[in-house]
Structure 1
């Protein structure tokens, strides 16, 4: 596996190229271009604010900031997982002609979406300033939380892209699985409200162990509440994600020939 990781590092120029081309391709035929990276999360906030606050009468004075953090982070997660499903299959022509470590494709996509998320952070900063939220010294943990999220998404990307090569229907199932995570996570609903609902007690543990909820709570703690995040949950998530990444790299190395054969 060390040789496989070394092979990926040798292809860093290709990795950089894939990231750059991915950033350009997303808005290639758009009139507004990269401005959509700012406009898209903003429009999402407006839609869900109208739904939750105007129509349902929920949410307090700080809800817009709570909402924008949840939607921007979720957009990063959702886009990365959805896109990674086809990260290998869409490069079939290249893979069949030249040997390349297949893991490089989902990994490059994860990094591409990280750059998109950075634009979402600008939208979050605008909302924080508009509603009078000033992060405290805990803001120093923000790069750490972003790195943990990136490792987590890297593990998911490697897994989803590998499975999709052999079971193409996974691509269709993903949207439903992600929708389930969207509504079971504190994205548009406050975490306390989810627990106050009529869910059976055993489902509360599932909500607490939800990795999306762990990440969202960490972002909100340092950006909104001037508190340190819950490091235990983040530590467990980091360790599990690193193990998953290493296992998937080992699995890719062992089954490269199978991927080529199926493609």
Structure 2
């Protein structure tokens, strides 16, 4: 296991190259190029603002800021998980020719999407300034929440990429699972619970411990509400993510030869 981690560290130049190439590839054939990293979250906010505020008539004065935080964070989560499904299989031609620690590919993808999220933070900053929200001292806690989010996404990326190698159909199921999490999380609807929901209490507890909801509440507490986030939920999420990362790295280490055979 330690040798495997050492092998990944030795390939740090490859990791950096994969991150850079991933950033370049995303908008390589578009006219606006990297400007899409700013324009895409803005268009998402415009669409859902029209849906919720104009058509349904919901949302208060601070709803645009609430919405942009939810959509930018969700975009990071959704894009990372969806892309990680093929993070190993798309490099099958390289993997079959040269030995590389397979875990390096989902790791590189997670770091690539972290850079994309940084551009989303610029959009959030624009909305905070436009609607008069000035974060307090709690903003110094923002890097901690971002780091916990990254741990969570690395854990999921390792799981999804590993499973997809052996079960290719998981890629088709992911979009439906993520859609459930989108509507079960406070991304476009306000409040910690679904208003007037007929769901039993045991299902509401599951919604309260939804990891996406925990992360969104933390970002909004820091940026909008001048509150410290709920560190209990964040701490549990961080510990579970670290455990999953260690277990998945062990699985990659023990099953490298099986991955090569399947590819």
TM-score normalised according to structure 1 size: 0.99
Corresponding residue for residue 134 of structure 1: 134
Cα distance between partner residues in 2 of 1:233 and 1:121: 23
Q: Deviations over 1:185-212 (max 9, x none)?
A: 0000113451532222221101111000
Cα distance between partner residues in 2 of 1:218 and 1:99: 40
Corresponding residue for residue 221 of structure 1: 221
Cα distance between partner residues in 2 of 1:194 and 1:159: 29
Say whether the 8 Å CA contact 2:106–2:158 is kept in structure 1.
yes
Corresponding residue for residue 6 of structure 1: 6
Unaligned runs of 5+ in 1: none
Say whether the 8 Å CA contact 2:139–2:223 is kept in structure 1.
yes
Corresponding residue for residue 118 of structure 2: 118
Cα distance between partner residues in 1 of 2:34 and 2:128: 22
Corresponding residue for residue 210 of structure 2: 210
Say whether the 8 Å CA contact 2:193–2:207 is kept in structure 1.
no
Q: How does 1:72-111 map to 2 (within 5 A)?
A: 72-111=72-111
Corresponding residue for residue 19 of structure 2: 19
3-state DSSP of counterpart to 2:9: helix
Structure 2 residue 30 is matched with structure 1 residue 30: yes
Shift of the 41–186 alpha-carbon distance from structure 1 to 2, 3 Å rule, reads same
TM-score normalised according to structure 2 size: 0.99
Q: Deviations over 1:14-38 (max 9, x none)?
A: 0000000000000000000000000
Q: Which runs of 4+ in 1 moved over 3 A?
A: none
Say whether the 8 Å CA contact 1:195–1:204 is kept in structure 2.
no
Say whether the 8 Å CA contact 1:185–1:191 is kept in structure 2.
no
Cα distance between partner residues in 1 of 2:222 and 2:240: 23
Corresponding residue for residue 179 of structure 1: 179
Alignment RMSD: 0.7
Q: Deviations over 1:141-162 (max 9, x none)?
A: 0000000000000000000000
Cα distance between partner residues in 1 of 2:191 and 2:60: 14
Unaligned runs of 5+ in 2: none
Cα distance between partner residues in 2 of 1:193 and 1:61: 20
Cα distance between partner residues in 2 of 1:241 and 1:220: 22
Cα distance between partner residues in 2 of 1:209 and 1:25: 36
Cα distance between partner residues in 1 of 2:2 and 2:179: 36
- Number of positions where the alignment pairs a residue of Structure 1 with one of Structure 2: 263
Cα distance between partner residues in 1 of 2:2 and 2:248: 13
Say whether the 8 Å CA contact 1:80–1:157 is kept in structure 2.
yes
Corresponding residue for residue 54 of structure 1: 54
